[in-house]
Amino acid sequence: NLKPVIAEISHSLWLIETGQSSSKTVSVLSGEEARQFYENLINDGTRQDGSRRATSKKNGEGEDDQRRDTSTSERSAELKGLRLLRCAHEGDVSGIKELVTKGVDINFQDTFFWTAVMCASWSGQKTALSFLLDHGAAWVGVVDTQGRDAKDLAQEAGHSEVLEELLNYGRSTQRETQSNSRLANTYLHAFFLNQILISNRLYSVIH
């Protein structure tokens, strides 16, 4: 079961940067060890998927095959979400773009509720963060298990440019929403005014 391992991934990024450890982390990993950890996990998942498919064909068990396919599909989605978090942490915009194009959930969360936006914010990857936000990634109201959002993580890590990007994006979105609301009200007012004028003309013709 990969879930306990996958649950450690985004949280371990925070542990690596802060030099802290937890009951689940025996020692603090180096950057190279973290990279190796990701690669081994993804490779192991790929090998396991292939092995399970081969076993499934050999046994020819219909219901078991269906259950395995469901399990494999869930594992595949989880591993792709994991790759998205890794790409965001490393600032790999091309990798993020490829995964998003393939339909990976841009708001994927692990067990600690970390998202790609959080990973990019914590590691100071402004370009990756901008790409994620421009493609619909959410951050307002999205918090991890400790109640921290992307803004909090950027502040803790000291990434002022990332923090500014988040705040500016929020203000820009708010301004756009307000502008759209005013425009809609203007059109609505014009519509009702036009209806009143038409009614008055009809009344004049009849009388």
pLDDT digits (tens, 9 = 90+) for 36-88: 555 555 555 455 555 555 555 555 566 666 666 667 788 888 889 989 999 99
Expressed as residue numbers, the domain containing 49 is: 3-159
User: Is residue 150 in some structural domain?
Assistant: yes
Amino acid at 75: R
Smallest CA-to-CA distance from 133 within 146, 120, 148, 152 is with 120
Q: Are 121 and 160 in contact (CB under 8 A)?
A: no
Q: Which of 4-13, 131-140, 144-153 comes out lowest in average pLDDT? A: 4-13
CATH number at residue 48: 1.25.40.20
Segment 92-106, tens digit of pLDDT: 999 999 999 999 999
User: Is residue 87 in some structural domain?
Assistant: yes
Q: Are 154 and 121 in contact (CB under 8 A)?
A: yes
Give me the number of domains the chain comprises. Answer: 1
123/118 Cα distance (integer angstroms): 9
Averaging pLDDT over each range in 6-20, 138-152, 178-192, which range is the top one? 138-152
| CA-based end-to-end distance of the chain | 81
Q: Are 89 and 110 in contact (CB under 8 A)?
A: no
User: Is residue 177 in some structural domain?
Assistant: no
User: Is residue 154 in some structural domain?
Assistant: yes
What's the sign of the alpha-carbon dihedral 146, 10, 13, 95?
negative
User: Is residue 198 in some structural domain?
Assistant: no
Q: What are the angstrom distances between the C-alpha of 15 and each of 8, 24, 28, 53, 193?
A: 10, 11, 7, 36, 61
63/41 Cα distance (integer angstroms): 28
User: Is residue 104 in some structural domain?
Assistant: yes
Kindly report the pTM of this predicted structure.
Answer: 0.57
User: Is residue 205 in some structural domain?
Assistant: no
User: Is residue 71 in some structural domain?
Assistant: yes
| CA atoms lying within 13 Å on the CB side of residue 172 | 9
Q: What is the pLDDT of residue 166?
A: 95
